[in-house]
Structure 1
């Protein structure tokens, strides 16, 4: 969550929905306050800002990432954060649920299984999807670090049957959020959404073991970090996200996604309609 006191504005970060892009834009044009989190964690604001990007232990919850907390968790465990949300204008970004699930799946494999270059059509992706669905099945509100990217988007918009956020925008029309912010707060922002996942082309699979060996055993860390972006943007890799809707995860997984995220489908449709109404008013 981000709080801009001067604008009385809160941004609730739904995992996998361009939160870094929004934070980068807001931090350049508005003064962010971390007093809400400092109060809830019992630390100073400098430490609270660092904690937003870290894993912290919270009594009754275990290890969580403060940047990725759904409203039911905030309401129950972070009283000052909850009070800040309730007293401010707020917005979120939404995304088609299956696309978000697939993106979260690929991030999980990279972050927790060291498979950062795995292709989206690899059989292990389907296996991991089955595992994640089994974990989610029947589970109540959660903030577990390894699974938080699979939380429902509606849990960042509503709580106890009540709409909490003031506005919601679809990620594919993020410019509408910028227009709303200009109208509501006077902030003029540009959101750069350039965190596009890359995967090796099918013919390049044989190169991966040798490349990993060189990276881990031969190259100094500083040099590896310097050339990694060049390597990922080379012709050996291609954008992956555009293929997600073409890859079948199996009937059980596909059925689970449709059922578990049914409310998110409706929420995203609402965000699209909200953005379209804003566009019409802007033109008029």
Structure 2
């Protein structure tokens, strides 16, 4: 994350296509020329994960370790902020970036730019395919987004006390490479545990469900289309001769 002279604070890991085209034209040209992929999630299960990322981005305390009333207030605030956004304008606000519409990363001005959007259920197959194309394994297990909970509140307080001090003292490029393997070790030992609670775990799930249906209507349509195509391929797999052979590097 860094300060852009026009856009302000920008999360460079999440740049919608319109922003990429208007402010990073060389990168957009490369994207348009390459064989491109996108992973699309079910918008209903994605919303709690987005909320988790917002909490962790703010103070490192995950969704699962938050009080129900705090979660309810945060959900109401997020939905209110999203509802106030202008129609058709992609999200760049770092505080809301995880709630972006996924279509903004696949389509631009009604035209599909990213050639191969797929559902997250296909991520392993996609990585195998990319590994074959580039000639070396692509391993991303350590970097996969996953919601988590601390095994105990005392462990959470101790870990946060250390990491917050480090983050305030050292630049990200120094502490981030260390943080990732430490977090992996915490998962391996059970000090941090995966949390896969469904959307209904949110205290105001009915309101969230209604909001998602309206705000992410385009994403819902895209996900359902891709999921139907995925299921169809399971029944009738493409022969090898019909699969794309383009170089992912252009």
TM over 0.5: yes
Q: How does 1:234-273 map to 2 (within 5 A)?
A: 234-235=189-190, 237-240=192-195, 242-250=196-204, 251-273=206-228
Work out the CA distance in 1 between the residues paired with 2:188 and 2:66: 17
- The count of corresponding residues between Structure 1 and Structure 2 is 220
Residue equivalent to 1:57:
4
Q: How does 1:86-97 map to 2 (within 5 A)?
A: 86-97=32-43
Q: CA separation of 1:168/1:123 partners in 2, compared to 1, >3 Å: closer, same or farther?
A: same
Q: How does 1:107-256 map to 2 (within 5 A)?
A: 107-116=53-62, 118-119=64-65, 122-139=68-85, 140-178=89-127, 180-181=129-130, 185=133, 187=135, 189-194=137-142, 195=144, 196-200=146-150, 204-205=152-153, 207=154, 212=157, 216=161, 230-231=185-186, 233-235=188-190, 237-240=192-195, 242-250=196-204, 251-256=206-211
Q: CA separation of 1:68/1:117 partners in 2, compared to 1, >3 Å: closer, same or farther?
A: closer
TM, length-normalised to structure 2: 0.72
TM, length-normalised to structure 1: 0.65
Q: Which moves more between the two structures, 141-150 or 269-278?
A: 269-278
Which whole-Å deviations, capped at 9, do the CAs of 1:22-80 have from their partners, x for residues lacking one? Answer: xxxxxxxxxxxxxxxxxxxxxxxxxxxxxxxx323232x11112221011211222222
SS in 1 for 2:36: strand
Work out the CA distance in 1 between the residues paired with 2:102 and 2:202: 22
Work out the CA distance in 1 between the residues paired with 2:232 and 2:209: 32
Unaligned segments of structure 2, at least 5 residues = 167-174, 242-250
